[in-house]
Amino acid sequence: MIAGGRHVLFVGGGSAGHVVPSIPLIHHFRDAGWRVTYVGSGAPEKDLIPALQVEFFSIPSGKLRRYWSTKNVLDVFRMLAGIWQATRLLRRLQPDVIFSKGGFVAFPVVLGAWLNRIPVVAHESDLTPGLANRLSAPFVDVVCTSFVETQLGRARVKHTGTPLRPELLNGVADRGRELCGFDTGKPLLLVVGGSLGSDVINTAVRRGIRHLTKRFNVAHVCGPGRVDARLRGQPGYRQFEYIDAGWGDVLAAADLVVSRAGANAVFELAALGKPSLLIPLSAQASRGDQIDNARYAERQGWSRVLVEEDLDHERLLVELIGLESRAVTLRQRNAPSDATATIAGVIESVARTPAAQR
């Protein structure tokens, strides 16, 4: 373990998936005596990272769109400003190594690191790489991946898996049931539509709630501002805008899970041995990365998949009955393990390697 004044800088943002996987690594390096800093741009990193008592720096970042928009013109200038600010910031901070988790803010920092000859380790969560990591790859020393099949051109790729938060691995089921207000009479079905919620999943659950609650106690994480007041007090049904403290406990209590198919969610559910029904974001609303993640999980035997176009309350119930019947088999599949120590080892190795040998 390297200590003695070493400094690792993290970058990533724009969504929870580009921030949360860094948190176990932040704890790892801080516990090992490293200085830890973080560069972001907006939500959610501005809320999540300072709460960890980590030095936080903000730079502008333009959105990397895959389609034409007049906003692209303005975002070119934001991106250039971000590269300029990141280059100056890194010259001042002089970290030993940078860990990039992707998102729009990552590319200016990675390019600034290359200009300052600071080594970079990146992590790609999805099976198919995102645009920020594809642009960053030529300037990165090592790209760690969650999926074995992920490739990034000529970049040096190392399959590691994904970091998992300790609180998820150490949840207490009784506390989770207590938080939801359920007894142990029926299986607990946990429904979560991503950090912002999902209208299409929320609608399917609520239209079928009377049928679902005949079979399950339903804990529904529906997203900020998406609680349906008409269903407050519905027996066997509890709505949450989000769950922060106690999330690991609720996961521990869950017998079945309905979820989007972001890479972090897929790996967390598989690591916990939770039989899951994945409803990936449609290709019309995304680049299709969640569809790829979900099909991979299905091939591994971790999950069943229901595409959004086929989702309604009747099909949801049918799929959940099928999932319940296969729950024991799904729990017995080989599950991924926490990759925090593995990725930390890669970061430490890159930080130790002289520039001429990288």
How high is the pLDDT of residue 136?
95
Is the residue at 2 inside a domain?
no
Rounded Cα gap, residues 109 and 96, in angstroms: 14
Asked if residue 209 and residue 154 are part of one domain, the reply reads: no
Residues 210 and 319 in one domain: yes
Indicate the number of domains in the chain: 2
pLDDT of residue 356: 59
pLDDT for the residue 77 = 86
Residue 13 maps to a domain: yes
Task: Name beta bridge partners: 259.
Answer: 192, 278
pLDDT of residue 180: 95
The Cα 37–Cα 152 span in angstroms is 27
Q: Could you tell me how many residues make up the chain?
A: 358
* Predicted pLDDT of residue 308: 95
Q: What is the pLDDT of residues 98-116, one digit of tens each?
A: 999 999 999 999 999 999 9
pLDDT at 111: 97
179 located within any domain:
yes
For the beta carbon of residue 132, count every other beta carbon within 10 angstroms.
Answer: 25
Q: Do residues 115 and 250 both lie within one domain?
A: no
Residue 268 is assigned to a structural domain of this protein: yes
Does a structural domain hold residue 190? yes
Confidence at residue 125, expressed as pLDDT on a 0 to 100 scale: 93
Q: Are residues 205 and 286 in the same domain?
A: yes
**Within a domain: 153:** yes
Calculate the alpha carbon distances from 163 to 258, 278, 321, 350 in Å.
22, 20, 31, 18
Strand order in the sheet with 237-240: 237-240, 217-221, 188-192, 256-259, 276-278, 303-305
- The pLDDT score that the predictor gives to residue 131 is 87
Q: Based on the fold, state whether residues 221 and 124 are members of the same structural domain.
A: no
Instruction: Report the alpha-carbon distance of residue 278 to residue 291 in Å, rounded.
Output: 9
**Angstrom distance (rounded) from CA 115 to CA 238:** 52
Residue type, 255: D
Examine the domain organization and report whether 204 and 304 are in the same domain: yes
> How far apart are alpha carbons 212 and 136 in whole angstroms?
45
Q: What pLDDT shows up at residue 144?
A: 97
Q: Identify whether 246 is part of a domain.
A: yes
Phi, psi of 275 (to 5 degrees): -60, 125
Q: In what order do the strands lie in the sheet with 7-11?
A: 55-58, 35-40, 7-11, 97-100, 120-124, 142-145, 157-159
Are 159 and 180 found together in one domain? no
Can you give the pLDDT at residue 42?
Answer: 83
What CATH code is carried by the domain that includes residue 318? 3.40.50.2000
Are residues 320 and 209 part of one domain?
yes
To 10 degrees, what angle do helices 22-31 and 340-352 make? 60
Q: What residue spans of the chain are helical by DSSP H?
A: 22-31, 45-48, 71-93, 106-115, 131-136, 166-169, 173-180, 199-207, 209-215, 247-253, 263-271, 289-300, 313-325, 327-331, 340-352
Same domain, 133 and 192: no
pLDDT of residue 2: 45
Same domain, yes or no: 85 and 51: yes
Range of the domain at 226: 169-331
Taking 70 as the pLDDT cut, the residues of the chain under it are 1-4, 64-69, 332, 334, 355-358
C-alpha closest to that of 80 among 108, 102, 53: 108
Residue 322 falls inside a structural domain: yes
